[in-house]
A and B are shown apart, each in its own frame.
Chain A
Amino acid sequence: MYRYDEFDHRLVAERVQQFRGQVGRRLSGELSEEEFRPLRLMNGLYLQLHAYMLRIAIPYGTLSARQLRMLATIARRYDKGYGHFTTRQNLQFNWVKLAEVPDLLADLARVEMHAMQTSGNCIRNVTADHLAGVAADEIEDSRIWAEIIRQWSTLHPEFSFLPRKFKVAVTGSPRDRAAIAVHDIGIRVVRNGAGEVGFAILVGGGQGRTPVIGTWIRDFLPRAELLNYLEAILRVYNLLGRRDNLYKARIKILVNAVGADAFRAMVEAEWATIRGGALALPEAEIARIRAYFAPPAYRALPTVDLASAVRDARDPAFAAWARTNVHPHKVAGYAAVTVSLKPHGGVPGDMTAEQMDALADLAERFSFGEIRATHEQNLVLADVEQAALPDLWRALGAAGLATANAGLLTDIICCPGLDYCNLANARSIPISQRIGQRFDDLARLHDIGPLKIKISGCINACGHHHVGHIGILGVEKHGAEAYQVSLGGSGDENAALGEIVGPSFSADAVVDAVETIVATYVGTRTADETFLDTYRRVGLKPFKEALYAAH
């Protein structure tokens, strides 16, 4: 993984000092809360319902065991002993004290981490494929490019006060595990007819109150031009994006207003003036960054057919876990493992300090000391020897980290909702907990098969409900919490937005509604159809009829 050089270290150290000064001026009263707000937001510090929340950047979700141990230490030292993984592959601490934040950031800096640009109207933490480097279909490792973008976007003098927040995601594979189509800029590594590696560029995707699947504006961008082209997109957006209405300020609104062709023309015109200019990436820098993502020292192992090995496993509980939480690896004898942060009845994405320490140890023992956070609020050990899977499974189980539900109905993405967030209209965590309790039968879950439920506590869609196979959106209705349900969304390479089924459900009724949707699917599916397959074949109607039959 990437390691800081002297420049990276110095920048983060200076940023900690700068923020220490800003906090000091706030505590002394020199700055009002209103004046301090933009400064703390530039460093991931929110004021929530009950306390300050600090969001720590985990660039493209990659963590070392040493970093995860520091996060555990921070959870104990500055918080209540746990943290929360987010859909931007970041980690939030919900109970920090303002006066202690500079020390917390200094501790983070010791392990090459920071909280820069995890909030505010700037370029946010760049996300990437959590199977980067190990997926067999990969053209090139997306982390190389995400790291290059991370550096360029950090403290960018021109783009730190954009009309609105700005999210970039990169995938190195045709399969999209990074949900790039719902990002302000989505980048896909591609190969052109001449065999050269470059990028296809998508703009104007997003969720929030106006969900949009992004538009491809360039089929092939030469590698060296990546940052020049991003600078061109950002400059057009910075100058022309709306600033009069918070809800119409994202780049998707601009792209829709001027039209994709006109937007593309503006970007290309801007790019033409800076192409080949100062930001063109020298090969030496690409090679320097790439070297950090060289494959670890894999052993030469015999090829094992993962599917048949799982089928033959004697322990049915292990087999169930391996079926969902173990993924193919491009190197013979290895597998990638999803560490579920979705225990039934638990809070999706939450992890205790003890679990962090335990997983750091397991990462060192089983996976070259590296951990990845996924945008689905789970963790991944990407390089596990297949022969070691049973040992790893037992050890994860002992730490409460072996729930066999990756990709299944209870592997729910869920925002913090009204339990923490002052934007929320409704609670989301208790809904996910009750769904987890209702479907707490592994055999049944496995029979239902792949099904993504995503829950947001408000229209800002932090829980990605628009792209959930089943999406649940918390709304306020006559002073009570209510839940709008949508079906058929998807955040992958066939991205689609869900369709709302009809009138919202009460908190009591929404879990029953999920039950009805699942029963309708199970009763309608053909042999190998997943939920999404069935939905795409039969459409909304049978689900709608089943849900509202009694009314």
Chain B
Amino acid sequence: MPLIRNGQPLADPWTMVADDAPLPAGAAIVSLARWLRDRDALLGRNQPIGIVLPPDQAVDELGPDLDRLGVVALEFRSFRDGRAYSQARLLRERYGYTGEIRATGQVLRDQLLFMERCGIDSFVLPNDSAVTAWSEAIREISVWYQPAADRRTWVVAARHGASALDGCAPAG
């Protein structure tokens, strides 16, 4: 399935590895369970490592190890399951994670913009037509009423300029 990262289609440098499969050479994404079980061995490979964070697991589970992870893959088991939006924002805004956050599962064209706003920067898409639609979908709305994990200016900031927001910025 095609992958888009930062707006560009690319060949996936990562291999998704099943829990019972041996690790291939190179960059590998494993389940959270495998990561928790084999953490030291996985780090000892000195190869890029990423994990799949299931929607029912708290982001806090990853806290101290986040800077060792090249990718955190979030799961949209159904397009209706919106937990990964919160997970993505927490990864970016609370834990300051700067690596790749990947949307997997039922990743629909009409939800890409919400995902991107929450800090997801790579998308596993169902087919090539979705890749074409990506650039269109991501630009459909240009006005936002709330700050999120992306860099878009929100309306209250645009209305009042930075000065009105002094003292409202996060302390840290």
Contact = CB atoms under 8 A, between A and B. Distances in A.
Given A121-B80, A238-B82, A282-B164, A17 B140 contact: yes
A7 B159 contact: yes
A274 B86 CA distance: 14
B145 A155 contact: yes
A162 B82 contact: yes
B110 A282 contact: no
B156 interface: yes
A297 interface: no
| B interface SS class | loop
Contacts of A227: 146
Interface in B107-144: 108, 110-111, 113-115, 117-118, 140-144
Contact of A10 (B142, B156, B160): B142
- Most-contacted residue by chain A among B155, B156, B171 (CB, 10 A): B156
A239 interface: yes
A540 interface: no
Nearest to A22: B110
A158 to B, nearest CB: 4
A394 interface: no
Question: What is the interface residue range for chain B against chain A?
Answer: 35 or more
Given A238-B85, A282-B160, A282-B165, A7 B146 contact: no
Interface in A232-253: 235, 238-239, 243
A281 B146 CA distance: 11
Contacts of A155: 114, 141, 144-145
A11 interface: yes
Interface in A254-290: 273-274, 276-285, 288
B159 to A, nearest CB: 7
Contacts of A243: 80-81, 83
A72 to B, nearest CB: 29
B140 A278 contact: no
Interface string B148-164: 10000011101110001
Interface of B: 58, 79-83, 85-87, 89, 94, 108, 110-111, 113-115, 117-118, 140-148, 154-156, 158-160, 164-165, 168-171
Given A35-B108, A121-B80, 5 more contacts: A21-B140, A158-B82, A161-B85, A239-B83, A279-B146
